Homo-oligomer: A and B are copies of this chain.
Amino acid sequence: MSHHGFTEVGAAPDEHTIRVGLLGYAFMAKAHSNAYRTIPYIFWPPAAKPRLVAIAGRTEERVAEAARRFGYEGYYTSWEELVEDPRIDLFDNCSSHHMHAEPSIAALKHGKHVVCEKPMALTAEDAYRMLSVARASGRRHMCGFNYRFVPAIRLARDLIDRGQLGDIYHIRVQYLQQSLHDPDRPLGRVPDPGSSKAGSQAILGSHAVDLARFLVGEFGTISALNPRFLDRRPGPGSTMVDLEWDDASIALVEFQNGAVGTVEASRLATGRANSLRFEINGSRGTVAFDLERLNELQVFLSEASVSDVVGFSDVLVTRPDHPYASVWWPHGHILGWEHAHINELNHFIESIVNETTVEPYGATFEDGYRAAVIAEAIAQSADSGQRVEVTFEK
């Protein structure tokens, strides 16, 4: 049927495509798939348009539904087949923690660019293997520390880089949730063997560690506690589950540049839904942030005072001159949690297409490895009661 005046449009002649294969179909897979679908019209014109080639997961019914839901062309039920598929440029690992290392390594060996969710690995040794393969591969690699791409957090980094906070003295960073606060509420599922040791430090603390590194610098020494308040909790049904994880994790840190701070994670912070927050004090200013109000950065700058008008500014980080903001909506039209993932994966795609580095604003496998080393140093100090020096393999 003809429609007078209707002009059909197709892909632009010079449109680049990046072909994505994703492992996993849960929470993170939803966030990443949403990002790939949103990037091409928000970052306009896009560096490349993601083409969702394949998704993989163990349970066919669920992976098939995820493929239909998010628009993947098809699916695999084994990750080995996914990482071998020659049609795929970018492998995205959203599977569970203990499935981060091998699929990512295999994908790199098959020449894929790889983004892997955090914590990158459950041991520093695994993380170092991943990093070594990534370095050798010549491919782009990113560890999914998405909060670096929250505009307010990136603005904090920019203020520090520009020297507007002066010398950094202090950081306090906490990732607080309440999922385990009630000792009587059953766990949703029995933790699988690979992750039963991966507690608050792995799940929440790795974000806190990465932000401290991103904003303040490299860790020097650590004194820590990894408390477990309950050894057994009710599981599904009427079972009781033995637990080996830490319920919380607190590290007292000296940074290599002389700053000091605390880096904390807890899943027993009753009332805190998703509060990743920090305060950083420098000789010329202070910033403070809370993920539950992620569009805002509290900023105190000595230089910004007008006579007696001195105080913390509540900066709504949605102005066109703010990081990652101009592509979105007009000033004052706030962003949500998922937007950091969109900003992050667009950054990764741009790094691939434009052959630019992922760092310093994106986290690489080097950052993922270092977070794993720090997690082990925290555990070591918690066990021994000693202040531990952090050292990284080259």
Q: Using a CB–CB distance below 8 Å, which chain A residues touch chain B?
A: 1, 3-9, 11-12, 27, 30-31, 33-34, 37-38, 40-42, 44-45, 54, 64, 67-78, 81, 85-87, 155, 159, 164-167, 169-170, 172, 174, 176-177, 181-183, 221, 223-225, 227, 229, 247-248, 250, 252, 254, 258, 260-262, 264, 266, 268-275, 281-286, 291-295, 299-316, 318-319, 321-322, 329-339, 381, 385-387
Contact = CB atoms under 8 A, between A and B. Distances in A.
Contacts of A67: 7, 9
Nearest to A4: B81
Contacts of A164: 306, 309
24 contacts: A6-B81, A6-B85, A7-B64, A7-B76, A8-B74, A34-B42, A45-B69, A159-B309, A172-B264, A223-B223, A223-B381, A225-B260, A250-B260, A271-B286, A271-B311, A273-B318, A275-B332, A292-B316, A308-B321, A311-B314, A314-B314, A333-B337, A336-B339, A385-B387
Contacts of A281: 176, 181, 266, 268-272
Nearest to A300: B271
Nearest to A67: B9
Contacts of A42: 34
Contact of A274 (B75, B176, B332): B332
Given A3-B87, A12-B68, A387-B385, A170 B311 contact: no
A283 to B, nearest CB: 6
Contacts of A271: 281, 285-286, 300, 311-312
Contact of A387 (B38, B167, B291, B386): B386
A184 to B, nearest CB: 9
Indicate how many identical chains form the complex.
4
Contact of A262 (B7, B74, B252, B294): B252
Contacts of A385: 221, 223, 386-387
A81 B5 CA distance: 7
A8 B54 CA distance: 9
Given A252-B262, A385-B223, A386-B387, A7 B272 contact: no
Given A5-B78, A283-B182, A260 B272 contact: no
A38 B41 contact: no
Contacts of A254: 225, 227
A157 B333 CA distance: 22
A6 B76 contact: yes
A335 B336 contact: yes
Given A166-B270, A182-B283, A312-B313, 8 more contacts: A40-B69, A169-B268, A223-B387, A250-B252, A262-B262, A271-B312, A272-B286, A274-B331
A312 B314 contact: yes
Contacts of A78: 5
A168 to B, nearest CB: 10
A319 B291 CA distance: 16
A309 B314 contact: no
